[in-house]
Amino acid sequence: MAETPEEILKQSFAILNLPQPASDWLVSVWQVIQVFDDFADGDAVSRADLDNAILNALVRMPANPFYQAHSSWLLPAIMQAVLKWQASDLAERSNRADERSFVWRAGYYDVVCLVAALVHGPSSDLALRALSMYGETFEDYQKEFPNA
Whether the pLDDT of residue 148 is over 60: the answer is no
Give the per-residue pLDDT at 142: 87
- H-state helical runs in the chain: 5-15, 20-41, 47-55, 61-63, 65-93, 99-104, 107-120, 124-131, 138-144
Q: Mean pLDDT, the chain, as a whole number?
A: 94
Residues 78, 109 contacting (CB under 8 angstroms): no
Structural domain including 53 reads 5-144
Check residue 4 and report its DSSP letter. Answer: P
Give the per-residue pLDDT at 144: 84
Query: What pLDDT, in 10s, does the model give residues 91-143?
Result: 999 999 999 999 999 999 999 999 999 999 999 999 999 999 998 899 999 88
Residues 111, 26 contacting (CB under 8 angstroms): yes
Count: domains in the chain: 1
